[in-house]
Amino acid sequence: MLVIDSQIHLWTGPGVPPHHGTGPYTAEQAMRDMRAAGIDAAVNQPPNWDPNSNAYAVEAATAFPDRFATLGWLKLNDPGAPERVRTWRSQAGMLGFRFLCAAEEERSWPVDGTMDWFWPLAESLGLPVALCGPFLLPHLVRIATGFPNLKLIVDHLGFVGFTENHGLIQAPDMLSWARFPNVAVKLTGAPDYAADAYPYKSMHSVVRQLYDAFGPERLLWGSDITRLKCTWREALTMYTEEMPWLSEADKALIVGENLRRWLGWTPGQP
């Protein structure tokens, strides 16, 4: 069974937020941890806290093309941004984009016109886009409707905030987004939202609701490993060994095959 993690962060610079550890997480460290956990490959989402993270993502994908691909970020208000999008896939491992719009100066992007040129261009080029958090997900219906051939990925089970006990608050209407065939959901970070210990049964019903809505073909397993309170192996076996309602065919789709199809990337192939 092919196992591809849909979200990790690789970086080398300082400034990491406390919930992602205390130091850099390099490709070499990830390779070691992936071998120990039985992970075949991973999609790196370069973190915005390291301004060099996109360049490092290309370096990691160049050195280990059978292990790492990338959904990168871009300052869409830069004059040269459209041309960079047009040549995005000329960079080693770059498959598409991931945006949070969490920085103060980016929060208005979805409504002030900054992103208006980006959506049709990404759609025309076949570049998938992952969307994360409370500043972007409220606009998903408009984006998915307006650009039906643009592959959209909802991060972290639809996360838009935390409860008082650090539990998960999902976008309130996200189950209805299953009506858009161009929308998939990452099952990332689940142990971090759980109120209990492994196998995190408090999160199983959340996953089941997404399964019932989106089906097994549009769920993408992942860890976001540097912020989790469990091992990488446990982040995987939570799904492959602890959810008996998932068939073996479901598991194969969710932990690797769906991501391979959605991003058009097979580890080990250029």
Written as one string, the DSSP assignment of 202-248 is GGHHHHHHHHHHH-GGGEEE---GGG-SS-HHHHHHHHHTT-TTS-H
Res 269: pLDDT:
61
Q: Tell me if 154 sits within 8 A of 131, measured CB to CB.
A: yes
Name the 3-class secondary structure at 183. Answer: strand
Q: Where are the beta strands (DSSP E) in the chain?
A: 4-8, 41-44, 68-72, 94-99, 129-131, 152-154, 159-162, 168-170, 183-187, 219-221
Tokens 């550890």 correspond to: 21
In one-letter notation, the amino acid at residue 152 is L
Tokens 């984006």 correspond to: 143
Res 23: pLDDT:
86
What is the fold, at CATH topology level, of the domain defined by 4-263? TIM Barrel (3.20.20)
Res 168: pLDDT:
96
Cis-peptide into 14, omega within 30 deg: no
| Digitized pLDDT (tens) for each residue of the chain, 270 residues in all | 999 999 999 999 888 888 888 789 999 999 999 999 999 999 999 999 999 999 999 999 999 999 999 999 999 999 999 999 999 999 999 999 999 999 999 999 999 999 999 999 999 999 999 999 999 999 999 999 999 999 999 999 999 999 999 999 999 999 999 999 999 999 999 999 999 999 999 999 999 999 999 999 999 999 999 999 899 999 999 999 999 999 999 999 999 999 999 999 999 765
| pTM, entire model | 0.96
Name the 3-class secondary structure at 152. Answer: strand
Tokens of 73: 């970020």
Res 127: pLDDT:
98
Question: What residue spans define the domains of the chain?
Answer: 4-263
